[in-house]
C-alpha cells in the first residue's frame, strides 16, 4: 500500500472524528459560534470542537494501529467499518470530556466569585439551574 493511501486513511479517520465531535456543538450551551472569550473564559467554538474531535480520533486510531506497522507481524494499513465507527465515537467522547473539563472550570470560578459576594437568593436560584456560563454571569452580577 502506498503512502497516498495511508494519507487517505488518516483523512477519513480525522473526518469521522470531526463529525463525531461536531455533534457536541448542539449539546449543551455551546452553539454554533466562532472561538471567542466571554467573561474571561475561552470558548473554542465549533472550529475548536471539530479539531479536538479530529485529534481524539487520530490518537485513538494510531494507538490501535501502531503495533501493526512495526515488528515481525507488520502488515499494511487497512480501513474497516470498525475504524470509522470508533473514530466517530471517540471524536464525540473526546469532545464531550473536554467540554466537561471547561464547564468544571467555569463552575469552580462561579463558586469562587459567588463566595466573595453578599448572599443573593435570586442569583442562587439562577446559579443552581442555569448552564455554567449563565451561572457565571449571575455570580458576576451579584452585589
More confident residue, 60 or 1: 60
Cβ-based neighbour number of residue 69 at 10 Å: 13
Residue 3 has pLDDT above 70, yes or no: no
- Across the chain, what does the average pLDDT equal? 87
pLDDT higher for 17 or 44? 17
Integer angstrom CA distances of residue 56 from 20, 21, 91, 94, 102: 10, 9, 6, 6, 16
pLDDT of 31 higher than 90:
no
78 confidence band (pLDDT: 50, 70, 90): confident
Mean pLDDT in residue range 79-99: 93
- Is the pLDDT assigned to residue 129 strictly greater than 80? yes
Alpha helix (H) ranges present in the chain? 3-22, 45-69, 81-115, 121-129, 132-140
pTM of the model: 0.80
Say what the pLDDT of residue 30 is.
Answer: 66
Domain range list for the chain: 3-140
pLDDT at residue 5 is higher than 80: no
pLDDT of residue 97: 94
Amino acid at each position: 500500500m502506498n503512502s497516498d493511501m495511508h494519507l487517505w486513511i488518516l483523512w477519513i479517520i480525522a473526518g469521522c472524528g470531526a463529525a463525531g465531535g461536531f455533534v457536541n456543538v448542539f449539546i449543551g450551551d455551546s452553539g454554533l459560534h466562532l472561538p471567542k472569550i466571554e467573561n474571561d473564559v475561552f470558548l473554542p467554538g465549533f472550529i475548536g470542537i471539530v479539531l479536538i474531535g479530529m485529534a481524539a480520533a487520530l490518537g485513538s486510531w494510531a494507538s490501535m494501529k501502531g503495533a501493526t506497522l512495526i515488528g515481525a507481524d507488520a502488515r499494511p494499513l487497512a480501513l474497516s467499518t470498525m475504524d470509522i465507527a470508533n473514530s466517530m465515537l471517540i471524536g464525540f467522547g473526546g469532545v464531550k470530556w473536554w467540554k466537561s473539563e471547561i464547564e468544571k472550570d467555569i463552575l469552580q470560578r462561579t463558586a469562587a466569585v459567588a463566595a466573595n459576594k453578599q448572599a443573593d437568593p435570586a442569583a442562587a436560584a439562577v446559579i443552581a439551574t442555569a448552564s455554567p456560563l449563565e451561572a457565571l454571569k449571575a455570580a458576576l452580577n451579584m452585589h
